[in-house]
Structure 1
Amino acid sequence: MITSRTFRAALPAAVLVCALAAALPAQASPADPRDAPAPRADTRTASAWLPYWDQENGYQDALRHAGRLHTVSPFWYKAAAADRIEGHPGAGDTRIIDGLHKAGIHVVPTVMDMDTMKPGELAGILTTPARRAAHTAALVRLARSHGYDGIDLDYETITTTATPDYRKVRSAYADFVTGLCAKLHAVRKQCVVTVSPQTPATGRIWDYAAIGRAADRMRIMAYDLHWSGGPPGPLSSTAWYDEILRRATALVPPGKIEMALPGYGWDWPADGSRPARHVTWKQAEALRRKVGAPYALDPESATPHFTYRDGTEPRTVWYQDARGTAAHLAAVRKYGVRDTSLWALGFEDPGLWNVLAQQ
């Protein structure tokens, strides 16, 4: 998931923030993407995030699989204050934007909130009308710049269920999304909202029904069932997908949902005594072959895993590949959800794209 926990583990420490101007200029966009011929529903059913720390590799990956992608979301921006959006290195790269557009792919950059504001600051913006209006205006300015087709809102540190103001903040975020999407639609831009899985114990900060009414698409980050800071285990499972989508499709039309899939894994100490190392599918498979571990697909979760020794330390790796994704997609399609997202371009098993084409 593009959570703060995954983001911090996957992000090289040396890659920090490069600030943009506080007021992003509104630039005229090229022809509105909504006026272009609609991509064929049977081929372009995927979107994907483009990591800025591996930008060229991810960009070339997108071009190779343009026939499957309707949208790419470069992971380019962060909310720094009510009236300020800042850019990561490479944000707004016109070569990438133009290249993706030429390939028929919408460019909907992600704005995230991890490690950017003090605890409670985002909640304060959402619950203060003047600050919320300023933040909405800053996001609309961003969406209108660089020929973008909209924005993807990935706010994950709003608050937790333990705070006294939880219900107030939850309602304020729903109102914020509703207002933002309306303003984006008024300037013919897409409004995409990324959320975490909602179960009886998780993801309650997001009002799925309100987000589903307002947004063009709601992306559910269906990974990190087991994460870097917890005990070893699968990143996702068919049973978990069933639980997530049973709840989500009762609140949001399936046509508006994108189920976001993992293209990576975690390499833990076998006893889970320390955080896991992030591995892409390619790294996990190279390691499996190097240590001579047999390929094994866990029958319960439908995810590959193996164990090995690093010196004297036993370790275990759980990750996802095309074979596991095929099993998971069967659970997704059962609920009428056709669209998927990938975290992230350049991480995944290349065979994943054939799996997406067959589903």
Structure 2
Amino acid sequence: SNAKISLQYWDGYASYETYLRQLSLIPGKATDYVDYVSPNWRGSIGTDGSLKLVWDEGSSNYKQLTNMAHGLGMKVLPLINGSGATLNTLLKSPAAREKLIGEIVVLLKNTNADGVVIDFETPLDYGDVKDPYDGVRNDLTAFMESLHSELQSMNKLVVMAVMPRMSSSQYWLDAYDYEALSHAVDYLHVMTYDHHYRTSAPGPIAPYPWIKQVLTYIQGQGVDMSKVLMGIPYYGRDWVVDGKDANGNPTYNSTAFGYSKALELADSYGATITYSKYNDADPVGTPTFKYTDEKGVEHTVFFDDYTSWNAKLSIINEFGLAGVGPWAMGWVDENTAEGLFPLLNQHLR
């Protein structure tokens, strides 16, 4: 079978040393496991389209990291992310959109990077429930089309990360015109994780049947699935009740951590790990356990392991997807890398 794309988010918010450490976790030959790495060098985005980076403009860090990845045969796609009200204002202004594109072009020239990942989340201006085009839907598409034509002429890649959607009733995701956006990108990375999130009730972060539901919806929008990257989480969460809402129902908070930490926690509290099935269409389920801490507080943990990752990775071939975009290498350590990268190779190569 033809090789699939492995886009690894090279940590969300890393120091120079952390980026290097994560690069060293990829076994040799690196391109057997990874095609693209996406570092997050964005400091902030202004409503006027100005882009500030994490290190000083003159810092050699950007070029050195890019050169290290290139030396291993991988391409580098910096992550440009933003959300909420700032994005609304920026997207509504053609001048701000053009400015941001200009800043991205400068970033790529200065760093020798190979393209970008655009991750614009939850634009609040999603328009009227009955009229998605009343919001920033057209503006977001127009931005991506301009960016794509600009970067295409430089022979640079455009990947767009989009939020996952299961049905048309989720009107707050109307900013994403999946079909139109799929023509303005090289790859569309559907972020199929955070089905349960930091402040939700405990539950699986990326249950297998839900991933398939999201991909089926996207397919139904007319998207060429051979351009789609599927998300999987490298992190788990530990939830506790942290209060009550106005109706007296419990509210939750959680912390995220990697696979090794999940096993360590279960072990230290003598907890039994079981597999929770989302529904009957879930082949293996998601690893989960409960424990009570020293203060008598009850915790519920959901995480992924080689068994659940393996099941999810099989969806790539089933849907004829381009490959995978997991979040994020920051949760991977030496122990996890030993099993994880061979698993990626098995499904993608």
Q: Is the 8 A contact 1:267 1:315 kept in 2?
A: yes
Gaps of 5+ in 1: 1-39
Return the letter of the residue paired with 1:244. Answer: V
Alignment of 1:100-115 (within 5 A): 100-114=69-83
Deviates more, 1:60-69 or 1:241-250: 60-69
Q: 1:62 to 1:74 in 2, by over 3 A?
A: farther
Q: Is the 8 A contact 1:144 1:150 kept in 2?
A: no
Return the letter of the residue paired with 1:182. Answer: S
Q: CA RMSD in A?
A: 2.4
Task: Give the counterpart of 2:182 among 181, 191, 212.
Answer: 212
Q: Is the 8 A contact 2:231 2:326 kept in 1?
A: yes
Return the letter of the residue paired with 1:261. Answer: I
CA–CA separation in structure 1 for the residues paired with 2:119 and 2:346: 29
Alignment of 1:119-268 (within 5 A): 120-161=85-126, 167=133, 168-200=135-167, 201=170, 203-250=173-220, 251-268=222-239
Return the letter of the residue paired with 1:330. Answer: S
Task: Give the counterpart of 1:299 among 272, 277, 298.
Answer: 277
Q: Write the deviation string for residues 225-255 of structure 1: whole angstroms up to 9, x where unpaired.
A: 0001110000011111111111223322122
Partner of 1:55: 19
Task: Give the counterpart of 2:256 among 278, 298, 301.
Answer: 278
CA–CA separation in structure 1 for the residues paired with 2:173 and 2:310: 25
CA–CA separation in structure 1 for the residues paired with 2:132 and 2:54: 30
CA–CA separation in structure 2 for the residues paired with 1:338 and 1:125: 30
Partner-residue secondary structure (3-state), 2:88: helix
Return the letter of the residue paired with 2:70. Answer: H
Partner-residue secondary structure (3-state), 1:325: helix
Partner of 2:246: none
Partner-residue secondary structure (3-state), 1:225: coil
Q: Is the 8 A contact 2:122 2:173 kept in 1?
A: no
CA–CA separation in structure 2 for the residues paired with 1:204 and 1:63: 40
Aligned-pair identity (%): 24
TM-score under structure 2 length normalisation? 0.83
Partner of 1:310: 293
Q: Offset at 1:162?
A: 6.3
Q: Offset at 1:62?
A: 3.9
Gaps of 5+ in 2: 243-249
Return the letter of the residue paired with 1:321. Answer: D
TM-score under structure 1 length normalisation? 0.81
Q: Is the 8 A contact 1:234 1:319 kept in 2?
A: yes
How many residue pairs end up in the alignment?
A: 315
